Structure 1
């Protein structure tokens, strides 16, 4: 009987209903078709993982709401030398959006970002002067699914959940409203597919839970080059990756974030429906 590697996919704890299950089914089907055996383990209490040939944190949803448990898991995976993709140094680096400064230092065009230790009105005023715009977006440095992300209109006040807290401050990028947010997907370092996500009318967030919608998109050379440059700055080559980017007022693309932990991969938009994803995972065993 041929060797069938055993893979553990980390999934959410209670509180996320069943929203993750359709995407899990697509990923599991692709992995199974490639000859892998797939198990589920709740990321907050995964139990003994030593019997698995690979661990994938693909649905570690909610880690931004339980940061101490997330970092404790990363420490455990590293201490026990368990096989994880993406690798633990990549997961740890990608957990805090301070990595945007790393990308900028390496010449990657990123959304302009100011990291504020304790957000107040003076910090917002400083950011407006620095960015030359009155429209701002604030978000936690450790966040997911637009948790705690707010659009601050001219003269707007700081939401209670952000006042005095560490927040990233960015200009509202015109492109997200005009042309949407672009996501490019890479497996084993190779480009797979891309989508463009549009926010619902009156919103700026593109996530499905806020009414966002996505369509397939053919990434141009500039988008692919920017994505490749951003991924090259990671601590190690990621096995799976999503690069989100938006345009500025002149249409130039800027990286908004790298998704290297638990990204939605939109495999139903991939021409091969996930075969390249599965091959990249199998190759990492």
Structure 2
């Protein structure tokens, strides 16, 4: 090769991305998957900051791919809270202690993690579906609640719930030992009266930004379904409510809702 001619890189390496492969300095060369929380947790500090390459043992190219995966994973940061409620609370405390800016105040996020806030909204005069909390749940306790209130059908859900996770519709005569599946009686549950109107007409979510009403959404379940979540075929459309109850306005001005400046829904 002439002395002045620039050296060319091997075609086998030039411009070829190492997509989905770990670098030689990674401990196990696992694929870089931003949805793999166990893997990503090795490279992200509790505050959400990326661990430097000199500490994680990654090469430069691998570190850059992990940085990109971290950005993609940020919107999934709170998804595990259904199964790891306490860990998420600890994580929020770490963010507070480190002074990390959070879009919604951690105190508000903690309040919103636990569906027992429905009882608090009810005490403020907001019409909510009749709800009873079972802090030490059992099938017998759920049946007793239904008998006392004259409910033949009820919706049972974990207090730490999202996207319809482990939500079940039960009939008093068919209440099983563990209506939501194995291991679901070790956490607080909510028992709610089944309201056929939700299956037939849907439910309305009122969205407040900074304590001021912004818009409303009509959530409808698919045919034969009672859950309005998208994974069960539910749909969401904008709507213009005729009136907004005084209770909703009052609740939106409370301290725990006043600071919410992003999407937030209060369902009735």
The answer to whether the superposition gives a TM-score over 0.5 is: yes
Indicate the residue corresponding to 2:8 in structure 1. Answer: none
Classify 1:89/1:113 alpha carbon distance in 2 versus 1 (closer, same or farther; 3 Å): same
- Structure 1 residues without counterparts, runs of 5 or longer: 1-11, 17-41, 49-56, 246-254, 256-285
Indicate the residue corresponding to 2:20 in structure 1. Answer: none
TM-score (structure 2 length as normaliser): 0.66
Aligned-partner SS, 1:240: coil
Counterpart CA distance in 2 for 1:175 and 1:244 is 18
Structure 1 residue ranges, 4+ long, deviating more than 6 angstroms after superposition? 42-45
Residue 217 in 1 paired to residue 219 in 2? no
Classify 1:107/1:150 alpha carbon distance in 2 versus 1 (closer, same or farther; 3 Å): same
Indicate the residue corresponding to 1:268 in structure 2. Answer: none
Of the candidates 158, 162, 171, which is equivalent to residue 153 of structure 1?
171
Indicate the residue corresponding to 1:228 in structure 2. Answer: 249
Classify 1:150/1:199 alpha carbon distance in 2 versus 1 (closer, same or farther; 3 Å): same
Residue 167 in 1 paired to residue 196 in 2? no
Counterpart CA distance in 2 for 1:117 and 1:65 is 17
Q: Which has the higher helix share?
A: 2
Which structure ranks higher in relative contact order (CA pairs < 8 Å, sequence separation ≥ 6)?
1
TM-score (structure 1 length as normaliser): 0.62
Of the candidates 49, 56, 59, which is equivalent to residue 47 of structure 1?
49
Aligned pairs for 1:1-285 within 5 A: 14=35, 46-47=48-49, 60-156=78-174, 157=176, 158-161=179-182, 162-163=184-185, 165-222=187-244, 225-235=246-256, 237=258, 238-245=260-267, 255=268
Classify 1:93/1:66 alpha carbon distance in 2 versus 1 (closer, same or farther; 3 Å): same
- Could you tell me how far 1:136 is from its partner in structure 2? 0.4
Classify 1:138/1:200 alpha carbon distance in 2 versus 1 (closer, same or farther; 3 Å): same
